[in-house]
Amino acid sequence: DYSQAMLVFENFLQRFPDDVYSDNAQFWIGECYLNEHRPAEAEAAYRTVLRTYAHRSTLEGFKTPDAIYRLGQMYARRGEVRRARQFYGVLAERFPETSAGRKAQRELDTLSVNTAAR
């Protein structure tokens, strides 16, 4: 129940706006919106992660790399390849040791191959 989950995450953020897990709650709000097929709200939630919280690795418990990856995916799905590459490139460069960083590098490689094939 994504709506109920969002309420729980939003309540957490209201009660504990500066908690170490606040960026996680914000990221999962974005995931709920994404699963409800509400991409504009999902994008806003992921951007809030980037705008509001510390930019550290998921290996340290932060959601910055995952939020960047999701934004890259959203641009790629919309056919905005240049923007997708920007997000994937930043992610692969800044967080190469994370799962999201490795996935971003694979996406960059795929986008390059697809572009070269045209």
Task: State both tokens at 8.
Answer: 């729980």
Quickly state the pLDDT bin for 113 (edges 50, 70, 90). low
Distance CA 76, CA 74 (A): 5
Of 112 and 72, more confident? 72
Distance CA 91, CA 104 (A): 7
State residue 118's pLDDT score.
52
**71 with 63: CB under 8 angstroms?**
no
Give per-residue pLDDT as tens, 54-74.
777 776 778 999 999 999 999
User: Greatest CA separation found in the chain?
Assistant: 51
